[in-house]
Structure 1
Amino acid sequence: MNGLTMKRNYKEMFKTPEMLTLIGFFVLCIIFSVVSEEFLSLTNVSNIIRQVSINGILAVGMTFVILTGGIDLSVGSVMALTGTIMAGMMINVGLPPFAAVLVGIILGAVIGYINGAFTAYARIPAIIVTLAMMEIARGAALLYTGGYPLSGLPASYSFIGQGYLFGVIPMPAVIMIIVFVVAYIILNHLPLGRYIYAIGGNEEAVRLSGIKVKRIKASVYLISGITAGIAGAIMSSRLSSGQPMAGEGYELDAIAAVVLGGTSIAGGRGHIFGTLLGALLLGVLSNGLNLLGVSPYVQRVLKGAIIIGAIYYSSIRQKD
């Protein structure tokens, strides 16, 4: 009987979204390493890690939002705005990199809280609020820069996006790991995490239990704004400039990473480790297709199909 139970448990384990994403990640790595000699080169692996790091950090904030049943379409634009503000603070105001990054992250937090306030307190649907903020933040970035990149950043600033820890580990990966660890602690070991899951599962029950639901819902958008600010620092450092058009479409990449990692789009179910796997799979897929010369238009079609498939699978599991 115990053997049958263990066998059933193993079968169920291999059906989980996280395990399917992990298997998909390894399958893609094998395929691309066979069809492209460049895939496993140190330069290419470093490029994958840096790109995954930006999307992974954005996806962390998106995980918090989606777990409550919300959505944040503004993260790509907020990343661009905070990146240009950081660049402007260093170039035009003369702030040291650390202070400029802090200003950008605080700005991201403020924008995130505005999203959360309109969503939680004014009860405007999150998709409407964040869609509007996507346009506002992008327009503000273009206004601030005049539509042109801000260049001439201090050489020391490049360490965030281009440097290596101990000469081996890319700094964006280090930052991403720290962000994921902090997110794991919040979601799995702090009351806030339990409330976030509970709100996604049954918001009315949580409200009736006396928990301040509106405050918690606003806080997850604030967290999403903070992660967008961190991603903005990495992106502007990596490009050595503040790019007002950076991050276009990144909100979809973040959403895709979250749903591929098994987080239910309806909220209440998911794991931050799954989000990391989703970001890794998307990063490898995008890089491998680029190496094979696949048209970016085709890649967008594939990405959209992947999102629909992941959401459909999630909805089926939700009914089980």
Structure 2
Amino acid sequence: MINPRFISLDNIKGVLSQVSTLGLVSAGMTVLIISGNFDISVGAIIGFAGTMMCLAIEKGASDLTAMLVALVVSVGCSMLNGALAVLFKAPSFIITLATTSIYTGLCLTITGGGNVTIFNRMEFFAGTYLFGVIPLLFFVSFLGYLAIGSLLKYTQFGRRVFAIGNNENAAYLAGIRVGWNKVKFFMVSGIMTGVAVIMLVSRLGASQASTGSGMELQAIGAVIIGGAPITGGKGNMLGTFCGVLLTGIIFNSLNLLKVSPYLQQISFGVLILLSIAISSMRLRVSK
């Protein structure tokens, strides 16, 4: 109502493009949170994988090869997180807190702290709109929602995600290989993050160690806002989709209202706290 630009077609297209990367990362994060795990190294992985992708292009690799590099780096880092959590029998939160520094440090060491540009390569993804309205980036993100939603709802993999998230010991006694399945959960998250890296780099045209900074907190926040409790065992992709869309709309609205970026950070934190409070009250009522 205050700024008529909010409902303009260009602004709507911009919001859909902006939430595409967050949507893919959040889709993978949904699997982890339902299973009782966290990956706070996602932002560092995005920066690392994106930079390796750009370096591959800079060295003469084809676009397809560079995309495979991004996927391999992303999946490899995510699976390493899961494997270390299982090997050391430590909370994934602590493991990924450590690997965040490792991945960021590796990226900074390789690049010398600078950024790597790809000079108008891979603009197809960011510049294509279906029917002239829907960004291709958002369509790819939506396919990611459908893929993860189908995995969770219709497959044995999905049932194991919920079983381990509800009660890890009971899942073990039921014959589920908890450790191996945790690694697979991180692998799925890595695949979603890898696709998100490709989409993000196509928009930015460059990457550096800090490219994905803060993305992990936004993804976790979107999943929690979507109704998944931080204790695990519950959640769905429709909730995550709504959480991502709400997050994007709120940030876009605050930008249009020219609200200070510092206050925007505060508002996002307050939104997450409110979501956790509502989730806590729902759990108390259901008991």
State TM-score, norm by structure 1.
0.86
Q: Distance in 2 between matches of 1:216 and 1:314?
A: 27
**8 Å Cα contact 1:90/1:153 also seen in 2:** no
2:88: which partner in 1? Answer: 122
- Indicate whether 1:98 and 2:64 are aligned: yes
**8 Å Cα contact 1:90/1:154 also seen in 2:** no
**8 Å Cα contact 2:13/2:133 also seen in 1:** no
1:124 is aligned with what amino acid? A
Aligned to 1:211, the other structure's residue is in SS state coil
- Indicate whether 1:283 and 2:248 are aligned: yes
2:7: which partner in 1? Answer: 40
Q: Distance in 1 between matches of 2:120 and 2:63?
A: 8
2:40 is aligned with what amino acid? L
State TM-score, norm by structure 2.
0.95
2:281: which partner in 1? Answer: 316
Q: Distance in 1 between matches of 2:88 and 2:233?
A: 22
Aligned to 1:142, the other structure's residue is in SS state helix
* Cα offset, 1:311, TM superposition: 1.4
Q: Distance in 1 between matches of 2:37 and 2:71?
A: 22
**8 Å Cα contact 1:116/1:221 also seen in 2:** yes
**8 Å Cα contact 1:91/1:153 also seen in 2:** no
Aligned to 1:294, the other structure's residue is in SS state coil
1:22: which partner in 2? Answer: none
Any runs of at least 4 consecutive aligned residues in structure 1 with deviations exceeding 4 A, and if so which?
none
**8 Å Cα contact 1:55/1:250 also seen in 2:** yes
Q: Distance in 2 between matches of 1:246 and 1:109?
A: 18
Identity between Structure 1 and Structure 2 (%) = 37
Compare CA radii of gyration and give the structure with the larger one.
1
- Indicate whether 1:253 and 2:210 are aligned: no
Q: Distance in 1 between matches of 2:139 and 2:111?
A: 30
1:112 is aligned with what amino acid? S
1:221-236 paired onto structure 2 within 5 Å? 221-236=186-201
Q: Distance in 2 between matches of 1:281 and 1:247?
A: 20
Q: Distance in 1 between matches of 2:32 and 2:56?
A: 29
1:176: which partner in 2? Answer: 141
* Cα offset, 1:98, TM superposition: 1.4
- Indicate whether 1:81 and 2:48 are aligned: yes
Segment drifting more, 51-60 vs 239-248 = 239-248
Segment drifting more, 253-262 vs 219-228 = 219-228
2:102: which partner in 1? Answer: 136
* Cα offset, 1:154, TM superposition: 4.9
1:138 is aligned with what amino acid? T
Instruction: State the Cα RMSD in Å.
Output: 1.3
* Cα offset, 1:108, TM superposition: 0.6
Segment drifting more, 164-173 vs 260-269 = 164-173
**8 Å Cα contact 1:50/1:173 also seen in 2:** yes
Q: Deviations over 1:168-206 (max 9, x none)?
A: 321111110111111011100110000100111111111
Q: Distance in 2 between matches of 1:217 and 1:110?
A: 14
